[in-house]
Amino acid sequence: MDKIIMTGLQFYGYHGVFPEENKLGQRYQVDVELMLPLDKPGRSDRVEDTVNYAEAYEIIRNIVEGQVFKLIEALAEEIAAVLLRTYASIFEVTVRVLKPHPPVKMFFDGVKVEIHRKRV
């Protein structure tokens, strides 16, 4: 399957289990892989025949920056669901959400979830 891959999307959101996270917020990084046929737009060279990644970026930004989730798992799930609902041409989507500095007493680069969803 062909893919449109968007990596390293940076947003500021207010997700987390702790009240401070919901108040102070932090940076999040999102990667998405959209599985869809790209032969038609490859031949036509028309944005109308593909997923406009600038539009997809705005959809993702509105979710990450405009909604609040306790878990990044729920954030990733919402991103996947909305992209699948919005674009009939997407057959499958993989979403990765990185929370670089979770407020826990551990020393590591962050925590990332990855989900893969298919059109039903």
Catalytic-role residue among 40, 99, 105, 118: 99
DSSP assignment letter at 25 = -
Verify whether residue 23 is a known catalytic residue: no
Among residues 88, 98, 90, the alpha carbon closest in space to that of 3 is found at 90
What are 77's two structure tokens?
A: 């799930």
Strand order in the sheet with 92-99: 3-13, 26-35, 92-99, 111-118
C-alpha to C-alpha distance for 24 and 35, rounded to whole angstroms: 35
Active-site residues, by number, are 99
